[in-house]
Amino acid sequence: MNSGTRDSGAGGREKDAALRLLSASAVRGRCARIMAAAEAGKTPYFSWHDDKLDACADYVLGVMRKRFPDLNVPIHSRRRHFEAGGIDRWSALIAKHGLGGAEHAAERARIGIDLTIPSVLLDAGAGASWEYYDEAHHKGFSRSEGLGVASFDMFVNGAFAADKSEPLRSDASALMQIATDDIERGFQVDAMNPLVGVEGRVSLLRRLGAAARVNADVFGTPARLGHLYDHLAASAVDGRIPAELLLETLLHALGPVWPGRLEIGGVDLGDCWKHPCAAVDANDPTDGLVPFHKLTQWLAYSLLEPLADGGLEVTGLDALTGLPEYRNGGLLIDFGVVAARDANLYTEALAVDHPAIVEWRALTVIGLDRLAERIRARLGLDAASLPLARVLEGGTWTAGRKIAAERRPGGAPPLNIVSDGTVF
């Protein structure tokens, strides 16, 4: 799909079209094409059942009320996983290093970003057999919580810092030298404690370092992930930045991080895949492609709190989409909102680029918007009062995990996804 053999005009047209996919609005727009096909009965793999959505919304709302009786729901972010076991590791870290005062706000934000970006990129599914033992608190954690605590401990111990005497940093030079042994040691991986996608995670961190180094306008020189704060602060108006700007900054700066993905017109498209129902305009070089940008959007949500630590408010949160991963998407399948046309699909091993997975994820994006609307209607709230970022946390992600545990041993997702550690 490279434009090397085409003239510069065609290459420019391809690049412009590809750049338009690096946005949350493109995610919603392309996913809406799949939803329209599903509602017309034309999707090849799954059917959509809007009449099942009310029961799903009621279940999510029940989970939300139980977790947050006052409905004071926090943002869906990586920081929630740093609180696994009811332990506020972030606040303890800041207190330990004396960084709690207003005079440290900017550096506190940088450190929060240094911690969050690698941790989010390491957050793809761990597999059912892996667990991390938090020696400091004598607790074991699996799945996202375990990955969060493990990456937190790696960060605190200077795993991503160029100078180990200044451990609370993520420097490009250190990230580019991450080795398989570093990840296996940091995540306590061995034959009895296997972690899915170790090599994929190593590759992501190395490419993250390389991407930071070449984007000096965003990450500074020498490149440090936390310098993203300074870049965004310079773009802020009255201390505010739009969520779309945050996401697009991340998509452009981190595009080269994603290995072996689609590239059009020299633009790395990342979490973007083909589906026949997305093909509507043969004159568009990106016709038939569906972007999701799941990990990058998860990162954008997860950066809201670090940026707030530095006095930056991210506005227009509902410009971002719900996260099309196996908890949110599994919730819709488990309630019959999304149903496979062929039951064999539930047992078949499916790679992330399989059109069935693309279709399911697209329906999940639009389905989460519709779920959020129904939950708000039940509570008499609007999107400003209960943005999607809080519905996810309250919320759909936890409800997806809960219903999976009720339906299947070990809480496995309803589809058998073959992961390389960079998507799910």
User: For 68-104, where are the alpha helices, taking DSSP H only?
Assistant: 79-82, 89-96
Q: Which amino acid is at 397?
A: W
User: Which uninterrupted H or E stretch holds 104?
Assistant: none
Would the pLDDT of 389 be above 80?
yes
pLDDT value at residue 418: 87
Beta-carbon count within 10 A of 48 CB: 24
pLDDT value at residue 10: 63
Cα–Cα distance measured from residue 205 to residue 178, given in angstroms and rounded to the nearest whole number:
7
Summarised one tens digit per residue, pLDDT across range 211-247 is 999 999 999 999 999 999 999 999 999 999 999 999 9
Summarised one tens digit per residue, pLDDT across range 37-72 is 999 999 999 999 999 999 999 999 999 999 999 999
> How many whole angstroms from its chain centre is CA 178?
22
Give the mean pLDDT of the chain.
94
What's this model's pTM, rounded to 2 decimal places?
A: 0.93
- What's the pLDDT band for 126 if we cut at 50, 70, 90? confident
58 versus 203: the higher-pLDDT residue is 58
pLDDT value at residue 1: 39
pLDDT value at residue 110: 98
With beta carbons less than 8 A apart as the criterion, state whether 133 and 65 touch: no
With beta carbons less than 8 A apart as the criterion, state whether 97 and 168 touch: yes
pLDDT value at residue 6: 40
**DSSP reduced 3-state for 136:** coil
Would the pLDDT of 111 be above 90?
yes
In this prediction, residues 78-96 reach a mean pLDDT of 96
**Bridge partners, residue 284, by sequence:** none
> How many whole angstroms from its chain centre is CA 27?
13
Would the pLDDT of 424 be above 80?
no
- What's the pLDDT band for 420 if we cut at 50, 70, 90? low
With beta carbons less than 8 A apart as the criterion, state whether 334 and 326 touch: no
pLDDT value at residue 125: 76
**DSSP reduced 3-state for 125:** coil
314: Cβ contacts below 8 Å, ≥ 6 apart: 240, 241, 242, 243, 246, 300, 303, 304, 307, 308
Among 4-8, 136-140, 195-199, the range scoring the smallest mean pLDDT is 4-8
Tokens of 235: 């773009």
Q: Which amino acid is at 376?
A: R
Cα–Cα distance measured from residue 385 to residue 380, given in angstroms and rounded to the nearest whole number:
10
Name the DSSP letter for residue 346: G
Tokens of 324: 């099309």
Instruction: Calculate the CA dihedral of residues 199, 147, 407, 63 and round it to 10 degrees.
Output: -150
Would the pLDDT of 197 be above 90?
no
pLDDT value at residue 9: 64
Cα–Cα distance measured from residue 35 to residue 22, given in angstroms and rounded to the nearest whole number:
20
Tokens of 43: 């999707």
Summarised one tens digit per residue, pLDDT across range 128-151 is 889 999 999 999 999 889 999 999
Q: Tell me the percentage of the chain whose pLDDT exceeds 70.
A: 96
What's the N-to-C CA distance of the chain in angstroms?
25
Would the pLDDT of 113 be above 50?
yes
- What's the pLDDT band for 255 if we cut at 50, 70, 90? confident
User: Which uninterrupted H or E stretch holds 364?
Assistant: helix 355-379
- Rounded to 5 degrees, φ, ψ at 412 are -65, 155
- In order of 63, 184, 201, 253, 327, the CA distances from 198 in angstroms are 33, 7, 5, 24, 21
Among 261-265, 330-334, 387-391, the range scoring the smallest mean pLDDT is 261-265
In this prediction, residues 391-416 reach a mean pLDDT of 94
Would the pLDDT of 342 be above 90?
yes
In this prediction, residues 349-373 reach a mean pLDDT of 97
In this prediction, residues 346-375 reach a mean pLDDT of 97
Cα–Cα distance measured from residue 316 to residue 24, given in angstroms and rounded to the nearest whole number:
12
Q: Tell me the percentage of the chain whose pLDDT exceeds 90.
A: 87
Would the pLDDT of 3 be above 70?
no
280: Cβ contacts below 8 Å, ≥ 6 apart: 33, 287
